[in-house]
Amino acid sequence: MSSWRNQQSRPAHRGRGRAAPRGPQPSGPPKKQIQMEHIASVSRSSGIEKDGDTLKDWKVQEEYRVFLQGKVDDVLNKYPRRATESEKETNQRINAQENVLILFRKLREGISATRRCDSFALEVYETSLYLAAAFESPKQSTSIIPHLVPSLYVSSPAPHDNLLASVVISLLHHLVVAYPSQSSFRQHFASIPSGLIPRNSAASKWIVSLAKSLRTQNYAAFELSTRPSSISRLFEGFNDLSSALKSMSISSGEGGSLSRQALSGLVHSLRSKARETTWEIIRSAYREVSCTNEETQTWLGSSLCLQSVVPYGRGIGAEDWLEQQSMHGHTRHKDGVVGRWIIYKAR
């Protein structure tokens, strides 16, 4: 871990010939924190606003990154995403997450303005991508990826401990945001030098196979390759990727790594999109299904990716899914037959 992340605030210099103020001092955040809270954005100030160039200073950038880590830890600890969130809790979480992403964007603007390409810049862009993906902010991810993959990995000095994690996350992002189209995925993959992700590596083969299963509508293969157990086995086989997925842990040690949260969130989104497509296919192909035998339940559960891959998601059984679809007018119980469902074709 870079030493800048562990910087401690230095005691304020005490001027000569001036007595310490007497009486109670006003409460509130320290002066330095207030300055960090309101530091000017490079893009908005354009050098005109007072202190508009502050974030072009490399030392200030590093101090600001330390300040942002407190914001990240606060959001991840105070607003963990849960399956039982109320609407109010969801809005509070999203607002807090968006604020953190905006602050990281402000820091990236300062880095970009100074054309900084060292390990610090790389870490900021990596963390920005992982947070954007974990917080389900595709617009932020879309703006970050071109600067990171492959650009910063090519221009910044080694080591690149998080390289494979970032590459896989960036490729998954393109599969999710453009679904079902894969043109942007193919263009992005082609732009990544083979030295960054060898085409015969397990990670490369996995993402290519994943894209193919979606393209050919082989949803059984897609579901199998996106199970948590399958992904874990893939990462355990590669020490560098395994290390990358563990290196961005939040300070409390809870919730796993940011990169793993980002990866799981993207896989969850992709499974949700695939589920919608598969359900349309099933509705077009079948008039009835029976959930009285385990084989049919397993087939439906697998085809529809009903198992959750994220802690804030809820796995659901096949019959419960069909029950939910009845509320949308897609299914109904067949009268007098236990476990048998009539499926209405998509219009």
pLDDT of residue 11: 38
Pairwise CA distance, residues 178 & 183, whole Å: 8
Question: And the tokens for 84?
Answer: 């039982």
Residue 159, helix vs strand vs coil: coil
Sort 341 into a burial class: Cβ within 10 Å, 0-12 / 13-18 / 19+. buried
Sort 134 into a burial class: Cβ within 10 Å, 0-12 / 13-18 / 19+. buried
Per-residue CA distances from 262 to 94, 157, 172, 209 (Å): 15, 24, 10, 20
27 has a pLDDT exceeding 70: no
pLDDT of residue 246: 42
pLDDT of residue 215: 97
In order, the DSSP letters of 81-150 are --TT--HHHHHHHHHHHHHHHHHHHHHHHHHHHTT--SHHHHHHHHHHHHHHHHTT-HHHHHHHHHIIII
pLDDT of residue 232: 75
255 has a pLDDT exceeding 70: no
DSSP state of 306: -
338 has a pLDDT exceeding 50: yes
249 has a pLDDT exceeding 50: no
Mean pLDDT of 18-43: 60
In this prediction the pTM is 0.84
Size of the chain, expressed as the number of residues it contains: 347
Question: And the tokens for 231?
Answer: 């992904």
Q: Single out the residue of 36, 62, 192, 48 nearest to residue 114, CA to CA.
A: 62
Pairwise CA distance, residues 339 & 341, whole Å: 7
Torsion of CA 313, 314, 319, 322, to 10 degrees: -40
pLDDT of residue 247: 42
pLDDT digits (tens, 9 = 90+) for 209-241: 999 999 999 999 999 999 988 887 666 654 444
pLDDT digits (tens, 9 = 90+) for 295-315: 999 999 999 999 999 888 888
Q: Produce one character per residue of 274-303: b if its CB has 16 or more CB atoms within 10 Å, e if not.
A: bbeebbeebbeeeeebebeeeeebeebbbb
pLDDT of residue 7: 38
State percent of the chain over pLDDT 70.
81
pLDDT digits (tens, 9 = 90+) for 127-161: 999 999 999 999 999 999 999 999 999 999 999 98
pLDDT of residue 107: 97
Per-residue CA distances from 6 to 123, 156, 185 (Å): 14, 22, 37
46 has a pLDDT exceeding 70: no
pLDDT of residue 5: 46
| pLDDT band per the 50, 70, 90 thresholds, residue 49 | low
14 has a pLDDT exceeding 80: no
38 has a pLDDT exceeding 90: no
